[in-house]
A and B are shown apart, each in its own frame.
Chain A
């Protein structure tokens, strides 16, 4: 049984220019692996949404991706304010992003709902004032 491929990426607060680098890198690797395009798409969208959330809401964090021949396992851990009401945050259109972020075209309130929609498994661990860790999986 071959071992997993582990990749990790640092995400910086408010660095919009770098947001998306991690998902682009994972996408390239999945394509080289010959993973079916639909799974690649799901991972790319879910990861990008998570990455941009960390840029906007958290004080940065770390994304760890483990690729195996069965699934892509993503852990997005941030040092941030935590999510006050997960149920609300999961509702499409609900956003706590400030006005200036919305003006940039972000903060449409689709982040978490999209992450849920495009993954086969998603779990949120959050503590107010400490941070949030989101675990997602996409089956290959």
Chain B
């Protein structure tokens, strides 16, 4: 399995080659090459920031279709993310959503929120018994785990070695489905309704275990319009089934601070939004955070309600979740049986992936870092993005990695042209004085040829950037 499998992709036909995504990518994973954005697979953490920012909607999240989720297999179980419940106006009973999902064609529903309550319970136990690992970092958001895996090697030992609720839910749903239907595993389909591409990436390339038990990941935004009429239909039925199996804790996982709230401790920090998260991780690495037991980190603003595949404004959705949970019991699901408890721990460790290394050995990396520093003195330091890299530093790194050249920089080219024309002027003077006539004339021709070449390169670049300006939104 590709450990760098990604849901976030580029639709080339829509990409205009502008600089919006390269500037907003928190891991500097995107470059514009030949007027198209290219995503570096090793740096990308599927946070979806580029999907949010792209004015041409050229960045997409690869997800599964509802047709496959409902049509491929004999018995289909759907697992809604708790944040789904925050997408609807005036929803006062989660049963409406769950029954509507069944009405839509699924054979059974298993709430991720229920599994979240089991994870909360085991998290409390883990925290109580592992003070040496404080602060423990939440592993629920796959983008965060991926980020730590490539950028914060010192924090890997702080990761809470528990599977995310989506995985625990899938494991328990598979077991229940096999019992209820009498079918084999292959005949059962487990579908997660996802708020973000990060979870889709997790399903295809999980962390903490070999292979995910989730078979399909369908976007909330794709399910939403189809689900609404079914919700209306079930709401009119008098004998709606009571099938809710999650409570306050489970539902709260849908927003930032919800997971931490289920731990019954005040010694926690909850940060959301990928840039804020990176700041917290930097501080953690410098051991600036003291007296904390737990750190909850969500890549999206507001937590999962802020997922790029959601419909509702994240802050409105968070309020809706708060209202919805008001009359719920604290928790409905409990880690009270061996099966549930066994479903939670990581099955394998997450290893550091040093993708940011500049070279293959430390000596090579060191000499390349030296080259980067030297190159930076030549580059203009404007971070304009015209070369296709987000900053001059990134361009310098690309150059030493052999993925770009100095002439990708417009300013470098201009500087070169000035130098060449100076040479030409000097040579012409020599000709005037009839010094080494033939030889000088030959050199002059070579210089003129280089000027012509570099001019045309510059022309191309300017045409490109003008083109970009015209497509940039105001």
Contact = CB atoms under 8 A, between A and B. Distances in A.
Interface of A: 2-3, 5, 7, 20, 23-24, 27-29, 31-35, 37-38, 40-41, 44-45, 48, 67-69, 140
Q: Is the interface of B mostly helix, strand, loop or mixed?
A: helix
Nearest to A3: B370
A115 to B, nearest CB: 12
A33 B362 contact: yes
Interface stretch (B235-243, B279-287, B329-337, B448-456): B279-287
B366 interface: yes
Given A32-B365, A37-B352, A48-B286, A5 B373 contact: yes
Interface string B344-373: 000000001010111101110111011001
B466 interface: no
A41 B287 CA distance: 9
B356 A48 contact: no
Interface string B259-297: 000000000000000000000001101111000000000
Contacts of B153: 31, 37, 40
Nearest to B352: A37
Contact of A2 (B282, B286, B366): B366
B363 A69 contact: yes
A27 B362 CA distance: 15
A32 B154 contact: no
B31 interface: no
Nearest to A68: B366
Contacts of B146: none
Given A29-B369, A33-B366, A37-B154, A20 B358 contact: no
A113 to B, nearest CB: 13
Contacts of A45: 286-287
B286 A34 contact: no
Interface of B: 151, 153-154, 282-283, 285-288, 352, 354, 356-359, 361-363, 365-367, 369-370, 373, 397
A55 B216 CA distance: 53
Given A31-B354, A44-B285, 9 more contacts: A3-B370, A23-B286, A24-B282, A32-B369, A34-B354, A41-B154, A45-B286, A67-B369, A69-B366
Contacts, number: 67
A2 B282 CA distance: 30
Contacts of B397: 32
A96 B110 CA distance: 58
11 contacts: A2-B370, A5-B370, A20-B282, A24-B282, A31-B356, A33-B369, A34-B359, A34-B361, A34-B365, A40-B154, A69-B366
Nearest to A6: B373
A5 B282 CA distance: 23
Contacts of A2: 363, 366-367, 370
Contacts of B361: 34
Contact of B151 (A29, A31, A44): A31
A6 to B, nearest CB: 8
B362 A35 contact: yes
A32 to B, nearest CB: 5
Contacts of A68: 366
Choose among B151, B287, B357, B366 the residue with the greatest number of A CB atoms under 10 Å from its CB. B366
Contacts of A48: 286, 288
A25 to B, nearest CB: 10
Contacts of B366: 2, 5, 33, 67-69
A27 B357 contact: no
Contacts of A23: 286
A32 B356 contact: yes
Contacts of B370: 2-3, 5
A68 B288 CA distance: 27
Contacts of A29: 369
Contact of A32 (B286, B358, B363): B358
Nearest to A7: B373
Contacts of A38: 154
B111 to A, nearest CB: 39
A28 B285 CA distance: 12
A28 B281 CA distance: 13
Contacts of A35: 362
B362 A5 contact: no
Contact of B357 (A7, A34, A69): A34
Nearest to A51: B286
Contacts of A37: 153-154, 352
A37 B362 CA distance: 13
A34 B358 CA distance: 8
Given A5-B370, A33-B358, A40-B154, A27 B365 contact: no
